[in-house]
Amino acid sequence: MKRSLVLLVSVLTVGLLGPGAAQGAQTRGTFLLLLELPNIAAALNGDHVAVTGEGEFTVSPKSVTASGEFTHTAANGDVVASGTWTASELISFDFYGCRFIPALGVDTGNDDFCGGALKMAIVLDTPIGGLPAVLTVFCIIGNQAPSSHNLPDGEGVTLVVPGIINFNHIVQGMNVYIRTS
């Protein structure tokens, strides 16, 4: 009996603290993605990319319908490329929570304003054709934002175009996820 009780407690503990605790906050639901103002990221060579867009994504089952525009500017200010982007796959969503912006000490007053790291496979539609890329959108709403993004300058995007360029430094951003279900 005592051994069964210990086993039951162990199973419940693993169930409550297991993978979910190790992977951070988890959620289900559908969210609107809004990047109305340009979110800007920089590459090591000084180039910048500005990204805007909107769409909707569902965490479980994974799905995304999103699109927008981008402009790639060289370090000297010349426009290298511009066009549109379209999401092709939801890779992951690391949910940070809703309502509060700890980095600013702000309560949005809305339980449906949420944050997290949304990673999507996208296609950049350019004059030379479609280029596969990975766009990650960081929204710092929520109490579970990692310290690397829980600062006002932690909100924004990164964009990786494999074999071409990696815009991996957030310059500025403003975006939000709005929970719809």
Looking at residue 4, its pLDDT comes to: 33
Q: What percent of the chain has pLDDT over 70?
A: 83
Q: pLDDT-derived band of residue 26, with 50, 70 and 90 as boundaries? A: low
Please indicate, yes or no, if residue 8 is contained in any of the structural domains: no
Query: Tokens 């934002």, residue?
Result: 145
Complete DSSP assignment for the chain = -HHHHHHHHHHHHHHHHSHHHHH-----SEEEEEEEEEEEEE-TTS-EEEEEEEEEEETTTTEEEEEEEEEEE-TTS-EEEEEEEEEEEEEEEEEEEESEETTTTEE-S-TTEEEEEEEEEEEEEETTEEEEEEEEEEE--STT--TTT-SGGG-EEEEEETTTEEE-EEEE---EEEE--
Please indicate, yes or no, if residue 16 is contained in any of the structural domains: no
Which residues form the domain of 101? 25-179
Complete DSSP assignment for 133-151 = EEEEEEE--STT--TTT-S
What are the pLDDT digits (tens) for 102-158? 878 889 999 999 999 999 999 999 888 999 999 999 999 998 888 777 666 789 999
Please indicate, yes or no, if residue 5 is contained in any of the structural domains: no
Looking at residue 105, its pLDDT comes to: 86
Q: 11 versus 70: which is more confidently predicted?
A: 70
Please indicate, yes or no, if residue 54 is contained in any of the structural domains: yes
**How many distinct structural domains can be found in the chain?**
1
Residue 40 has pLDDT above 90, yes or no: yes
Looking at residue 146, its pLDDT comes to: 83
Looking at residue 132, its pLDDT comes to: 98
Please indicate, yes or no, if residue 98 is contained in any of the structural domains: yes
